[in-house]
Structure 1
Amino acid sequence: MRNPEETIGKIIDKASTSFIAYVDDNGYPITKAMLKPRERNGIKTIWFSTNTSSNKVKYFKKNSKASVYFIDKRFFRGISLIGTMEVLETAEAKERIWQDGDTAYYKEGVTDPDYCVLKFTATKGRYYCNFKSEDFEV
């Protein structure tokens, strides 16, 4: 892969669904489908919105180890990023990624206590394309 940030960035931007994984209290990985990220800074930092009351938030508060996965269905390519997930509940973080229409999920608006931000920071990744995989540092 000549330019990981560009290639992977395009996959992230075009993906309609994201998959995030966290570790439960018994050490098992749990994978959840999510809406596409709200924002990203290259492929190093990716922001998602979610419900504060969700299991993933509960577990990320205990153990920040995480992975995110994006797929390009058309060309059967995939990218797995490994790193840590922070749960952010500050007004600044919430306002940063708030979008019109979010009241469908968070009835009380940007200050809804059941609305929070997940900030993923990648440390390494694995890219799959053309029947082979390639590891890389982020």
Structure 2
Amino acid sequence: MTTSTDKNQHIYQLRELIKDIGCSMLTTVDEDGSLHSRPMEKSSDIQPDGTLWFFTNASSHKVFEIEHRQQVNLSFSSPNQKRYVSVSGSAELVQDRNKMQELWKPELQAWFPQGLNEPDIALLKVQINKVDYWDSQANFAAQTISL
């Protein structure tokens, strides 16, 4: 059984692993079972409850896929540091204006020219379930974190 202290330590460890990696590849499952991956800029560090947030367009195909199958994977890599992180979790669409204001970063303007006034803007919330990582600091052996 994972205690609250263990979970906090695991979240801290994962935060350290991906803190300098801004972009991940989000993989979703389409209705025919095929996998689709696309780059996503994370909008925040891992939250204390083990979630990651991403801005998106509510009408995008990835949202359609997530509405049918919530299981997703996020891949983070830093080849220069020989660090690779695979995050499994479940995703959901969130249209909370207060949360969007809290997470907004000016660099997101490139994807959302009207900023928070973009008509289709929304958030993807990914609840982390399991993390596998390979890190040169850990002798490059596969490690697993369960949240």
1:86 to 86, 92, 97: 92
1:1-138 aligned within 5 A: 4-35=10-41, 37-39=42-44, 40-42=46-48, 44-129=50-135, 130-138=139-147
Shift of 1:16: 3.2
| Structure 2: tracts of 5 or more residues without a match | 1-8
Alpha-carbon displacement from aligned partner over 1:16-61 (angstroms, at most 9, x marks no partner): 32111110011122111112x1112148111111222322112112
Aligned positions, number? 135
Q: Using the TM superposition, give the Cα deviation of residue 8 of structure 1 relative to its aligned residue in structure 2, in angstroms.
A: 2.3
Q: Report the aligned-residue RMSD.
A: 2.0
Query: Structure 2 CA distance, aligned partners of 1:111 and 1:80?
Result: 33
Q: What is the letter of the counterpart of residue 133 of structure 1?
A: A
Structure 1 segments, 4+ long, off by >4 Å, are none
User: Which residues of structure 1 form unaligned runs of 5+?
Assistant: none
SS in 1 for 2:100: helix
Answer with 82-91 or 107-116: which moved more: 107-116
* Overall identity of the aligned pairs, in %: 23
